Chains A and B, each alone.
Chain A
Amino acid sequence: DADVTQTPRNRITKTGKRIMLECSQTKGHDRMYWYRQDPGLGLRLIYYSFDVKDINKGEISDGYSVSRQAQAKFSLSLESAIPNQTALYFCATSDSTSGIIDEQFFGPGTRLTVL
């Protein structure tokens, strides 16, 4: 079984709809991240959480919100989706207590299309 899972894997929605993307991990890591990737570009950080009570904005947080329901779960919400939020979304985790400083492990991604 995959260590970092994302649901749904694909989603098509309409402008103005509320969407939630979910991420779960079985790695026991304390840190979790949400990124988006646009065609031909690298990943950009949306939000990150260093533990259950810690939420931080990343580079491109406008239009998004997150919830860290438990150490293993981190959800990303689009309150009112717009077409330029069409992208590939990735969740990642890392372990701050490991000997290797914050190596990040990525989920398979969610392809979101906003019409």
Chain B
Amino acid sequence: KQEVTQIPAALSVPEGENLVLNCSFTDSAIYNLQWFRQDPGKGLTSLLLIQSSQREQTSGRLNASLDKSSGRSTLYIAASQPGDSATYLCAVMDSSYKLIFGSGTRLLVRP
């Protein structure tokens, strides 16, 4: 059974820092991996999707990497801003096209 773990569960950093969020999964048979952002009480916003054949994706200050063989992904946020404060969720699509989510990393960027 696929399991997705995100470390750390919570992170507090001063504005301007570069930071890395980690995601690990137990079964390397995945179609893709998605990173989402969730603001309190709100829905999910898709940030980046990496297909299983890709190694990384970039969007603005965000960079996500995927190492399928080791079951790991990282989300790198450059020059963090208070507006980046949110919960970041990692999800993998398994071999039956279902998304399996981690429990998220709650990020606070202090001004």
In residues 18-74 of chain B, which contact A (Cβ within 8 Å)?
31-32, 34, 36, 41-46, 49, 51
Q: In the complex, which residues of chain B have a beta carbon less than 8 angstroms from the beta carbon of A74?
A: none
Pick from B32, B51, B102: contact of A42, CB below 8 A.
B102
CB distance from A9 to the nearest CB of B (A): 10
A 45-66 to B, binary, CB cutoff 8 A, 1 in contact else 0: 1001010000000100000000
Pairwise interchain contact B49-A103, C-beta atoms closer than 8 A: yes
Q: How far is the CA of A43 from the CA of B98 in the complex (A)?
A: 12
Q: How far is the CA of A48 from the CA of B97 in the complex (A)?
A: 10
Q: In the complex, which residues of chain B have a beta carbon less than 8 angstroms from the beta carbon of A45?
A: 98-99
CB distance from B107 to the nearest CB of A (A): 14
Pairwise interchain contact A42-B34, C-beta atoms closer than 8 A: no
Q: What residue of chain A has the Cβ atom nearest to residue B36's Cβ?
A: A106
Pairwise interchain contact A108-B42, C-beta atoms closer than 8 A: yes
Chain A residues with a Cβ under 8 A of chain B:
31, 33, 40-45, 48, 50, 58, 88, 90, 92, 100-109, 111
- With A43-B89, A48-B98 already in contact, the answer to whether A102 and B43 are too (CB < 8 A) is no
Q: In the complex, which residues of chain A have a beta carbon less than 8 angstroms from the beta carbon of B45?
A: 106
Q: In the complex, which residues of chain B have a beta carbon less than 8 angstroms from the beta carbon of A88?
A: 41
Pairwise interchain contact B93-A102, C-beta atoms closer than 8 A: yes
> Given A41-B104, A106-B46, 17 other A-B contacts at CB below 8 A?
A41-B103, A42-B103, A43-B99, A43-B101, A44-B101, A50-B97, A92-B99, A100-B49, A101-B31, A101-B32, A101-B93, A102-B31, A103-B46, A104-B99, A105-B46, A106-B45, A111-B41
CB distance from B57 to the nearest CB of A (A): 11
Most chain A CB atoms below 10 A, which of B43, B46, B51: B43
Q: In the complex, which residues of chain A have a beta carbon less than 8 angstroms from the beta carbon of B91?
A: 42-43
Q: How far is the CA of A35 from the CA of B50 in the complex (A)?
A: 22
CB distance from A41 to the nearest CB of B (A): 5
Pairwise interchain contact B43-A101, C-beta atoms closer than 8 A: no
- With A42-B4, A44-B101, A45-B99 already in contact, the answer to whether A108 and B43 are too (CB < 8 A) is yes
